[in-house]
Amino acid sequence: MANKKATDEEKGILEQFMLPFYHITKRIPLFPGKNDAKSEAGLFGITEEELKEYRENYDENARQAALEILKEDEIVDCLDKLPMDGEETIVAFGDSNTEDAQGWFTILKHVLEISVEKANFNFINAGVSYNTTAEALRRVDRDVVVHEPDWVIVALGTFDAQRLNIAPDRTLLPLSETWENIETIQSVLESRVENPLIWITPAPVIDEMLEENLLYDFTIKPEDLGPVQDLVSGKQGAIVDASAKRMGEGEPNAWNYLPDGLHHSLSGHMETTKAIIKKLAEPKN
C-alpha cells in the first residue's frame, strides 16, 4: 500500500508512542476495510509482519506484568474475593492509557484469565486515545452499551484538562462541560449495567516532561487536572484511587511513565491494575 517505509528512528517512535495507542478499527468502525492488517501496517510505514510482531510483543509484556502482580500475596487474596464467576462481559471505557495495547486493561485481562478457574470472560477495550469526555459520550452507545456489559470501568477526564499550545488561555473543555459529560455517562450506564460503575481517577501528568516532548501540541497542568480528578473521585460507584496517588505519594514517580510524562509505563499500568483489583475485592456497603 505505502511506498514510504519507516526509518529506524521512526520505528522507535512508532513502537513507544504510536502503535500501542492506535488501533484503526476504533477510528473508522464503519469502514468495511477496517480489519485489513496490511493496509493498517502501510499507514505506519511498516510491514504486516512487523505490525503483528509489535502487537504480540505488547501482549506478552502485559502477560509478564500480570505474572509479576500474581506474585503478591495481597493481590492473590483479593482475587479470591472478587464478585465474579468468570462469565462476565467487562468493558473498559477510556482514553489513551486504556487503549494502550500493553496497558492496565490488558494486564487485568491476563490476571483474571490466569487466576479465575474456567475463565470465560468477554473483555472489550473501548479506549480511544486522547478522547475527551465529550468524544467518549458520543460513542458510549456503539462502544459500550451495545455489548450489554456486566461491568464497566470508566477512565476518562485527563484530556479535558489539556491546553493547546496555540491557545493556552483555556482548557479544551470547561470544567462545567466535563461535569455534565460525566453525569450523562453515569446516567446512561447506570440504567443499563447491573453492577456499580467503576471509576478510575485520572493519574497526575508530569507536565515538565510533556512540555519537552515535541510530539505533543498541548500541555496538562496539575491545577487544571486537579478539579477533574475531584469530579471523578466524587462519583457514585466504586472509585479506584480516589486520591490519585497510585503513581507515587507526593510527586508522581517518573518510572511509572513513558518519557512523555503522560502515558504510563508497564510499572504504572501495574499500579492501576492492582488498585482496581483491591477496589473490586472490597466488601459492598
Sign of CA dihedral 75, 80, 86, 90: negative
Q: What percent of the chain has pLDDT over 70?
A: 99
At 43 the pLDDT is: 87
6-31 burial by CB neighbour count: b if 16+ within 10 A, else e? beeeebeebbebebbbbbbebeeeee
82-125 confidence digits (pLDDT tens): 999 999 999 999 999 999 999 999 999 999 999 998 899 999 99
Q: State how far the Cα of 216 lies from the Cα of 259, in Å rounded to an integer.
A: 12
C-alpha cell at 89: 462481559
DSSP string, the chain: --S----HHHHHHIIIIIGGG--HHHHSTT-TTTT-HHHHHHHHTS-HHHHHHHHHHHHHHHHHHHHHHTT-HHHHHHHTT-S--S--EEEEEESHHHH-TTSHHHHHHHHHHHHSTT---EEEE---TT--HHHHHHTHHHHTGGG--SEEEEE--GGGGEEETTBTTS-SS-HHHHHHHHHHHHHHHHTT-SSPPEEEPPPP--HHHHHH-TT-SEEE-HHHHHHHHHHHHTSSSEEESTTS-TT-SSSPPGGGB-TTSSSB-HHHHHHHHHHHHHHHHSPP-
Give residue-wise pLDDT tens across range 173-226: 999 999 999 999 999 999 999 999 999 999 999 999 999 999 999 999 999 999
Q: Domains in the chain and their CATH numbers? A: 73-281 (3.40.50.1110)
Q: What is the pLDDT of residue 239?
A: 97
Average pLDDT over residues 254-280: 98
Does residue 2 register a pLDDT over 60?
no
In angstroms, the CA 162 to CA 27 distance is: 21
CA distance 176 to 178: 5
> Which pLDDT tens digit goes with each residue over 39-60?
889 989 999 999 999 999 999 9
pLDDT tier for residue 285 given thresholds of 50, 70 and 90: low
pTM greater than 0.85 (yes/no): yes
Sign of the C-alpha dihedral, residues 229, 231, 234, 235?
A: negative
* Amino acid symbol at 245: K
The answer to whether the Cα torsion of 91, 96, 97, 102 is positive or negative is positive
